[in-house]
Amino acid sequence: MILLFGLGKVKEYSYLRLRELSPYLLETLKKLDAWSVCLSLPYQGSTHVDCGKLAEVLIEGMTDCLGLHGYPFDEEWIKNLRLYFAEGEEHFYEILLGVQTAQSILEERIKIRIFASSEDNSA
């Protein structure tokens, strides 16, 4: 299944805009009963945003809405939710840094486990 999620006008696209939309994305994923999600966020061209920071902001925004009333997220669904980022190998370390930053910031609120390939493709 492919889900296209509108982020608004390009000139209004920012970290704040993505953070504001995070609860809606999380709610949509829950309604679809999606446990495994591959995301690709716009970050080049005229957007003036960094893909690693986008990953961080997205995770923080999703976490912020977990405790809000009106969002029916059960603990089991959240615990099993898997996010994958399809930004390509050249942006792997940027995305990893963003996820690690979110993990550090949110460590008191939610457990974030990071799984990354340990393969060394440089040989």
- Give the model confidence (pLDDT) of 22-39 as tens digits: 888 888 888 898 989 998
**Is 123's pLDDT higher than 50?**
no
Task: Assess if residue 43 is contained within a domain.
Answer: yes
Each residue of 40-93: pLDDT tens digit? 877 666 567 788 898 999 999 988 887 665 566 677 888 889 998 888 788 889
Provide the b/e sequence for 10-40 (b: ≥16 CB within 10 Å).
eeebbbeebbebbbebbbebbeeeeeeeebe
Task: Assess if residue 21 is contained within a domain.
Answer: yes
Task: Assess if residue 123 is contained within a domain.
Answer: no
Task: Assess if residue 118 is contained within a domain.
Answer: no
Q: Which domain holds residue 50?
A: 10-105
Task: Assess if residue 111 is contained within a domain.
Answer: no
Number of domains in the chain: 1
Task: Assess if residue 74 is contained within a domain.
Answer: yes
**Is 102's pLDDT higher than 90?**
yes
